[in-house]
Structure 1
Amino acid sequence: MLLINNKTSYFKEIMNKKLIRITVLIFVFCGFTAKAQHTAKAKKPFTKDIARIIKKKSVQFAMHTIDSLDEETIRNMIVLNEISAPPFKEHKRAKKFAEMFSKTGIDSVWIDTEGNVLALRKGKKRDKTVVLDAHMDTVFPEETDVKVKKEGKTYAAPGIGDNTRGMAMLLAVLNGMDMASIETDADVVFVGTVGEEGLGDLRGVKHLFSETSDIKIDSWISIDGGGNGRIINGGLGSKRYKVIFKGPGGHSWGAFGLANPHHALGKAISIFVEEASKYTDIEGPKTSFNIGRIGGGTSVNSIPFESWMEVDMRSVSPKRLLEIDSILKTSMKKAESVYNASAIKDKVILEIKPIGDRPSGILAENIPLVQRAIAVASYFNISPVLITGSTNSNIPISKNIPAITIGRGGIGKGAHSLNETWSNIDGAKNIKMALIITLAEAGIAD
C-alpha cells in the first residue's frame, strides 16, 4: 500500500436470433455496451437543478478552467498511456497516477491493497462518498509499444482511448474544482481502478465494495467507453470458465485408441452448443454464449494429455445467466460421461475452472443519479441514451447502489487494437459533463 498524504484521518472521519453457433456473443469490448434501451428524458426538477448548478459563477469558472487546461489534460493522457499497464501489472501506471493527484494538493492519496489509486477530496458535511472512477488497466501485454503518435487532433496508441483518456479526465475535473474553489457537501474520491478488462474480472471495483475496502461508497460514476450521450445504468452480467479435459497422453500410432482429451472436448462443444442454442432461442432477456479460445496438445503425432477451452456467457438477466451457466456444467459432465463410456482405453477427467464472474442488474431510470446524468447530457445538447453494458458499474449496480458509466467523449476508434486512436473533437465537453454530474451528486456546499 502506498500512502502519500494523510489517509489515517479519513479512516477516522469516515448477432441474429439464432446467432452463429460457436461464436454467439454480444461482441463488444469489456467497457462497451450491449444494446441501447431508449433515448431518455430527464424530469423537470432535475433539469432545473442542473441549470441552477451550471449558472453558478464558480461552476462556470470550473468549466472555463477545463477548457483552458485542455493541453495539460492531453499531456497527462500521453504520459499515462506511455506507461504500460497490462492485466495484473498496473502498479507502475498506478504510482504515476497517484503522484499526479498528490501534486494537486488534494486531501489524501493512497494505493490500496488491491492496487487501486484513491484520491480523497473532503466535503464539508462528509455525509456520503461519491466516487468518480476510470480504470487504469489495458488489454495489451507488457511488451506492447504504447508510445503515442500525434497527427493533428488525433492521438494513436494502444489504450489511448480505453482508458488513459478517462484517467486524464479525472485530473481535469479535480483541477476545475480546485481552481474554482468549489466545495462539496459529500466527500469526492477520484479512483483509478485495476482489473477492469478481461480476466481482471473487475477485481479493483470488487475490492472497493468488499468488507475490506478503505471507503464506504454511496454513489459511483465511471468514465469508460466512447459516445458522448451513452449512460450505462444496467450491468451486463457474465460468467466465464476454463474447461479442461485431461488424459494420460501418448503416441498417435503406438497408443492409438487411448482416451483423447481433444476428442472429448469436441464432443463437449457439440453438446453444449446444441443445448445452449435451444435455450437462447427461447423468448426472454437476451443471453449469449461464446467459446473464445481452445488449446492443448504438444504435436500433431501425439495424443494430448490436456485439452481446454475458455467459455464466455452473458445475460442482462441474473436468472438467465444462472440457467445458461447450469447448461454449460451439465453439458460438460454429460460429455465426460458419454466419451468415457465409448470404446476407449483409460478415461478423461473433467475440470471446470471459473475465470470470470460479473453480476448483472439494472437501475431504474428515475433514480436521482441517472436523472442527473440525463439532464446534464441534455443541457450540453447531447441526446442521452440509456444503455446496458459490462463496466466497473456492474458491481454497485448489482448491489443496488446508485451507479452509472459515462463516455469519455471525443472520437475514438479501434479500441482493444494496436491501431487504436482518439481524436480531440470537442473532447472537453465530456469532462464538463463528468464535473457537473459529480457536483450534482455530491452537492455544492453553501
Structure 2
Amino acid sequence: MRYQTRCFMAPVILALALQTSKAQTSPESSKYESEMAKLAAQPVIKKALRVILELEPATLKDHILLTEIPAPPFKEKQRGEKFYQLLKAIGFDSVWTDRTGNVLALRKGKNGKRTVVLEGHLDTVFPEGTDVTVKHAGDTLKAPGIGDDTRGLAVVLAIAKAMREANIKTEANLLFIGSVGEEGLGDLRGVKGLFGDGAPKIDSYIAIDGGGIGGIVYGGVGSMRYRVTIKGPGGHSYGAFGLANPHHALARAIGNFIREADPYTRTGTKTTYNVGVIGGGTSVNAIPYESWMEVDMRSESPEKLAGIGELFKEAIQKGLDEENSLLRSGPKLTADIRLVGERPVAVQEQNIPLVRRAMASAGFLGARPVLSFSSTNANIPISKKVPAVTIGKGGVGGNTHSLDEWWINEKGYLGIQNALLILVAEAGLAK
C-alpha cells in the first residue's frame, strides 16, 4: 500500500502543477498532458496501475526466470520458447512464433483498424556458455543480460497481465512481442522480419529497451558494420620471409583509416568509428595466411555515414597496395570487404502523437522527458515511416553488455506503468 500511495499521489500533484503552468508550455504539449491525465483517471486504468504493483513479485520471478535462460546471438530459441509459454498462459487471441524467430501474441481491439506493438528483445550479447545465473547482493540483481533486455520482456508480460486483470479493451489491435536479433551482428533481423513480406501490418511501435522512464528514443542512429579479411599464402617467418603479410596490411589499413576518419568526424553531425574485433594468424613464427577485423561506424546523418564508409574502403585498398608493394616473392594479398550489418538512419518529427504521448506519460509519472537518437529496434519502423519510440524499462541498472551487469528494482513499477499508459493512449481506450 505504501507504494500505491507514492505512485498515485505524485502524478496527481504533478498534473495540478502542469495545469497551473500552461502558459509556460506549448498548446500541443498541454493537449497530450491533458489526454494522459484523463486516461490515468479512468477506473480501468487506475485498476491496472494497482495491479502492476500487486504483480511485482510475479514480475520479478519472470524477470529472473528469463534471465537464467541463455539467449546468445542467433540462439534465442530456448528463451523464446519459454516466453511463448508465459504469453500463452496469460490468455491471448493467438500466440505464435514467426519464421524469423520472433514470438508474438495478439490481443484484438474493438475495431481492429490499427495495430500497435509493444516489444522487448529476446537476445543478449553474451556468447554460448556464459554463466547467466542471477546472483543477489542485497537488493541488487547481478547477471549478464539482467537489464538489457530481459527486464524489457518482463515489462511486456506484466502489462499483458495487468490489462487482463483490469479488463482493459483498446480500439486498436495489440501485438506483444519478444523479438530476436537486436544485438550486435543480429542486425535487427527480428524487427526487419516484422516488417517483411507476409508480416502483419503495424501502425505504431513501442520498444522497451534502455534505462529510466524519462529517456525517449525517437530517432535512429544508423550504422554500418564490416568484416574485412585479407588473405595470402602464409609461410614460415624465416624460410618464407618476403611474402606479403596480411597482418601488416591490416595494420596499415587501420592506420590509414584513422588518419582520415579522425578529422572527418570532428565536425558536423556526430559520426563514430570503432575497430572492435581483430583476428588471424597461427603462430609467432608463421606468416599468417589471413588477417581479419570487424568495424562499426555510426551516424545520425545518412550523408556522413556514407562518407565515412567510403573513407574506410579507400583505407583498406591503400593498406593492401602498400603491403603488396613490399613483397619480394609470392602472390599478392587480396582483401574481402563484407557488409555484415546495416541499420538505417531513422528520422521522424518530435511532434507526432506517439512521441508526445511518451513525453506526457513520463512527465505525469514524475520524470523529466528527454528525447534522443540511438540505435534500437525502433530504427526499422521509423525508417519505414511508422511512428515508433524506444522507452526505458524502469528501475536502476548499470554495466550493460558486461559480465557484471546489474539491476535494482528501485521504483521499477514506474517503467511498467509508463509503458502501459503510452500503449493504451496510442491504441485508444475502448468504451
TM-score scaled by structure 1? 0.89
Q: Is contact 1:40-1:385 (8 Å) kept?
A: no
Offset of residue 339 of structure 1:
2.6
Offset of residue 331 of structure 1:
1.7
What are structure 1's unaligned runs of at least 5 residues?
1-38
Offset of residue 40 of structure 1:
11
Map of 1:43-122 to 2, 5 A cutoff? 43-122=29-108
1:412 and 2:401 aligned:
no
Letter in 2 for 1:95: E
Offset of residue 105 of structure 1:
1.1
Q: Is contact 1:317-1:361 (8 Å) kept?
A: no
Q: Distance in 2 between matches of 1:42 and 1:163?
A: 33
Q: Distance in 2 between matches of 1:344 and 1:403?
A: 57
From the superposition, tell whether residues 234 and 344 of structure 1 become closer, same or farther in structure 2 (CA, over 3 Å).
farther
Q: Is contact 2:244-2:327 (8 Å) kept?
A: no
Letter in 1 for 2:296: D
Deviations 1:75-116 (A, max 9, x none): 011111111111111001000101101111111100011110
TM-score scaled by structure 2? 0.92
Letter in 2 for 1:70: E
Q: Distance in 2 between matches of 1:206 and 1:344?
A: 48
Offset of residue 343 of structure 1:
4.3
- The equivalent of 2:296 in structure 1 is 312
Give aligned-pair identity as a percent: 53
- The equivalent of 1:362 in structure 2 is 347
From the superposition, tell whether residues 221 and 41 of structure 1 become closer, same or farther in structure 2 (CA, over 3 Å).
farther
Q: Distance in 2 between matches of 1:148 and 1:270?
A: 42
Q: Distance in 2 between matches of 1:40 and 1:411?
A: 31
Offset of residue 153 of structure 1:
2.6
2:274 to 287, 290, 294: 290
Letter in 2 for 1:376: S
Normalized per residue, which structure has more helix?
2
Offset of residue 305 of structure 1:
0.4
- The equivalent of 1:33 in structure 2 is none
From the superposition, tell whether residues 426 and 231 of structure 1 become closer, same or farther in structure 2 (CA, over 3 Å).
same
Deviations 1:233-292 (A, max 9, x none): 0101110101111001011111111111111111111111111123113x3111111111
SS at match of 1:356: strand
Deviations 1:350-381 (A, max 9, x none): 10011111111222110000000000001011
SS at match of 2:90: coil
- The equivalent of 1:263 in structure 2 is 248
- The equivalent of 1:329 in structure 2 is 313
From the superposition, tell whether residues 307 and 107 of structure 1 become closer, same or farther in structure 2 (CA, over 3 Å).
same
- The equivalent of 1:153 in structure 2 is 139
Letter in 1 for 2:206: I
Q: Is contact 1:245-1:349 (8 Å) kept?
A: yes
Letter in 1 for 2:47: F
Offset of residue 151 of structure 1:
3.3
- The equivalent of 1:12 in structure 2 is none
Q: Distance in 2 between matches of 1:227 and 1:40?
A: 24
From the superposition, tell whether residues 400 and 179 of structure 1 become closer, same or farther in structure 2 (CA, over 3 Å).
same
Letter in 2 for 1:216: K
SS at match of 1:103: helix
Q: Distance in 1 between matches of 2:93 and 2:269?
A: 45
Q: CA RMSD in A?
A: 1.4
Offset of residue 41 of structure 1:
10
Q: Distance in 2 between matches of 1:41 and 1:157?
A: 45
Deviations 1:318-362 (A, max 9, x none): 111111111111221222223323343221001001111111122
2:362 to 377, 380, 390: 377
Offset of residue 59 of structure 1:
0.3
Q: Is contact 1:41-1:384 (8 Å) kept?
A: no
Aligned length: 406
Q: Distance in 2 between matches of 1:265 and 1:163?
A: 35
From the superposition, tell whether residues 123 and 139 of structure 1 become closer, same or farther in structure 2 (CA, over 3 Å).
same
From the superposition, tell whether residues 316 and 41 of structure 1 become closer, same or farther in structure 2 (CA, over 3 Å).
farther
- The equivalent of 1:200 in structure 2 is 186
Runs of 4+ residues over 3 Å off in structure 1: 39-42
Q: Is contact 1:196-1:392 (8 Å) kept?
A: yes
Offset of residue 65 of structure 1:
0.4
Q: Is contact 1:77-1:165 (8 Å) kept?
A: yes
Q: Is contact 2:213-2:418 (8 Å) kept?
A: no
Q: Is contact 2:244-2:326 (8 Å) kept?
A: no
SS at match of 1:290: strand
Q: Distance in 2 between matches of 1:332 and 1:237?
A: 22
Q: Distance in 1 between matches of 2:125 and 2:385?
A: 28
Q: Distance in 2 between matches of 1:347 and 1:75?
A: 59
- The equivalent of 1:275 in structure 2 is 260
Map of 1:157-168 to 2, 5 A cutoff? 157-168=143-154
Deviations 1:57-83 (A, max 9, x none): 000000000000110000011111111
Deviations 1:378-411 (A, max 9, x none): 1011000001111111111112210000011111
Q: Distance in 2 between matches of 1:144 and 1:289?
A: 28
What are structure 2's unaligned runs of at least 5 residues?
1-24
SS at match of 1:160: coil
Letter in 2 for 1:424: N
Letter in 2 for 1:77: H
1:134 and 2:120 aligned:
yes
- The equivalent of 1:227 in structure 2 is 212
Q: Distance in 2 between matches of 1:227 and 1:182?
A: 25
Q: Distance in 2 between matches of 1:235 and 1:279?
A: 21
Q: Distance in 2 between matches of 1:148 and 1:116?
A: 25
